[in-house]
């Protein structure tokens, strides 16, 4: 429930586009067994193509009708994959995502863009009457509130592009913790990798096949750098959020599920870190974060790995590196299994792509609904803000704001977007 005091953070995402409310055209509610769920894919970079596009192509009941990327060559390559899979040349290519949002033949959109576009695109798609599959993370705390309210108002199906809850190792960690295999959880330790420290900013020629205005979109216009055509835009605050939000989305989700606090999000935030100077990398590259929950659990996040250890009163469970073999203080824990009706934690869901399509049909909640996208990222954004301000913070989950800290609340709010529209 959003209170009057906390509503200020909801107003930070302005959208200069034609859709101001949910589309008046009724959203498709039911698909028959023979009906295809039609998709438009926005963002055809490495992850958008190799993970999202390929996974949806593998689903017999989905049909990708169009692909879009601000790099025309990437859209063309994605079209080749789609056409080869379907044995025709019907897939349409666009540079401007508005072509996909205005197409009534498309049921849902898949958003695989840089992070500064995620929520703006998701909101526009929701208001255009589409269901949404959107990559993580949010760019600001206020964006999480805003997209949550829009998805609810539009009665849409929303899936966050995150796989951990359907990976057996991470699901088992949470299941064992929730069922008391290590006793009450007291602490969770997480390690995250960091991004490369890039050279000082420099202006490079804009590639001929790139619409740079649409690449920058709602963000601040800065000179083009060849780094933006690689994954390393993730380390620049204009377009990305850095490892704390990027990699952190994965492991922190499991940590927060194990913490199992009533308010879901942390209430005490203390973080230190180092941000490179005179570099295109201008997000925390070294960090030490402590997030406290109302039930007494602490999540400790630091740089230097891809592991997670959950510590309880009776022992610990660990995944020492990303999606690797599990370890425990007592090997017997790893052999614990639960029969039908024995576990108080839900069964492991299907992968996020299959789950999304199933939920578009059933109109049920997805593995990673819009609420999860928001709550996963809130604590991580708070940690980033704590590092930038150099002080401890406290979050009020009822008022949806930092307590007694106007500057922290300002940093939680998305700035006014640049006017990126052209005609």
Do residues 253 and 128 share a domain? no
Do residues 158 and 178 share a domain? no
Token code pair at residue 322:
């990303």
pLDDT of 20:
57
**How many other β-carbons are positioned within 10 Å of the β-carbon of residue 183?**
12
202 within some domain: no
Do residues 245 and 103 share a domain? no
> Which phi and psi angles does 121 have, rounded to 5°?
-65, -40
128 within some domain: yes
Do residues 154 and 301 share a domain? no
Q: What is the CATH number of the domain that holds 174?
A: 3.30.360.10
pLDDT band, very low/low/confident/very high, at 6 (cuts 50, 70, 90): very low
CA gap 155, 177 in Å, rounded? 33
Single pTM value for the model: 0.94
230 within some domain: no
Do residues 261 and 295 share a domain? yes
**What residues contact 336, with CB distance under 8 A and at least 6 apart?**
176, 179, 181
Q: Which DSSP string do the residues of 217-250 spell out, in sequence order?
A: TTSPP----GGGGSGGGGGSTTT---HHHHTHHH
**How many other β-carbons are positioned within 10 Å of the β-carbon of residue 46?**
11
Q: Which DSSP string do the residues of 321-340 spell out, in sequence order?
A: STT---EESSGGGGG----T
Provide the residue range defining the domain that includes 307: 165-196+239-343+377-412
Do residues 187 and 270 share a domain? yes
Do residues 250 and 145 share a domain? no
Do residues 169 and 159 share a domain? no
Q: What is the CATH number of the domain that holds 150?
A: 3.40.50.720
pLDDT of 22:
80
88 within some domain: yes
Distance from CA of residue 408 to its chain's centroid?
Answer: 22
Do residues 364 and 314 share a domain? no
- How many domains are there within the chain? 2
Do residues 175 and 140 share a domain? no
Do residues 81 and 172 share a domain? no
Listed residue (191, 189, 236, 246) closest to 215, CA to CA: 236
Token code pair at residue 191:
């390690």
pLDDT band, very low/low/confident/very high, at 33 (cuts 50, 70, 90): low
CA gap 252, 3 in Å, rounded? 27
pLDDT of 421:
87
Q: Worst-scoring range by mean pLDDT, 18-27, 74-83, 322-331?
A: 18-27
pLDDT of 10:
38
Q: β-pairing, 393-396 with 62-68?
A: unpaired
Q: How do residues 105-152 score in pLDDT, each as one tens digit? A: 999 999 999 999 999 999 999 999 999 999 999 999 999 999 999 999
């Amino acid at each position: 429930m959003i209170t009057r005091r906390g509503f200020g953070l909801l107003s930070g995402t302005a959208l200069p586009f034609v859709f101001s409310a949910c589309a008046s055209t009724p959203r498709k509610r039911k698909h028959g067994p023979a009906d295809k769920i039609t998709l438009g894919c926005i963002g055809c970079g490495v992850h958008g193509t190799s993970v999202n596009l390929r996974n949806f192509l593998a689903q017999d009941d989905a049909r990708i009708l169009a692909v879009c990327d601000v790099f025309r060559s990437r859209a063309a390559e994605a079209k080749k994959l789609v056409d080869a899979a379907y044995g025709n040349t019907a897939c349409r290519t666009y540079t401007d995502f508005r072509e996909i949002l205005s197409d009534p033949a498309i049921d849902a959109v898949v958003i695989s863009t840089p992070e500064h576009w995620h929520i703006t695109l998701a909101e526009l798609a929701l208001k255009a009457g589409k269901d949404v599959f959107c990559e993580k993370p949010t760019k600001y705390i206020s964006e999480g509130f805003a997209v949550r309210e829009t998805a609810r108002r539009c009665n849409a199906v929303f899936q966050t592009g995150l796989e951990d809850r359907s990976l057996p190792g991470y699901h088992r960690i949470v299941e064992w913790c929730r069922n008391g295999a290590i006793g009450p959880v007291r602490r969770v330790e997480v390690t995250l990798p960091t991004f490369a420290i890039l050279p000082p900013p420099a202006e490079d020629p804009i590639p001929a096949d790139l619409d740079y205005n649409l690449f920058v979109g709602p963000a601040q216009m800065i000179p083009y750098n060849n780094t933006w055509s690689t994954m390393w835009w993730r380390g620049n605050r204009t377009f990305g959020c850095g490892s704390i939000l990027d990699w952190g989305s994965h492991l922190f989700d499991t940590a927060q599920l194990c913490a199992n606090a009533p308010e879901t999000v942390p209430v005490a935030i203390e973080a230190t870190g180092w941000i490179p100077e005179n570099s295109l990398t201008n997000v925390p590259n070294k960090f030490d974060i402590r997030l406290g929950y109302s039930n007494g659990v602490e999540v400790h996040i630091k740089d230097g790995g891809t592991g997670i250890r959950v510590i309880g009163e009776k022992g610990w469970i660990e995944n020492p590196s990303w999606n690797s073999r599990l370890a425990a203080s007592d090997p017997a824990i790893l052999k614990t299994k639960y029969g039908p009706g024995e576990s108080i934690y839900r069964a492991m869901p299907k992968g996020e792509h299959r789950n999304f399509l199933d939920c578009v049909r059933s109109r049920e909640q997805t593995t990673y609904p819009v609420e999860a996208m928001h709550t996963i990222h809130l604590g991580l954004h708070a940690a980033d803000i704590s590092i930038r301000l150099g002080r401890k913070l406290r979050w009020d989950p009822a008022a949806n704001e930092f307590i007694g800290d106007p500057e922290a609340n300002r940093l939680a709010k998305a700035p006014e977007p640049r006017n990126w529209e052209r005609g």
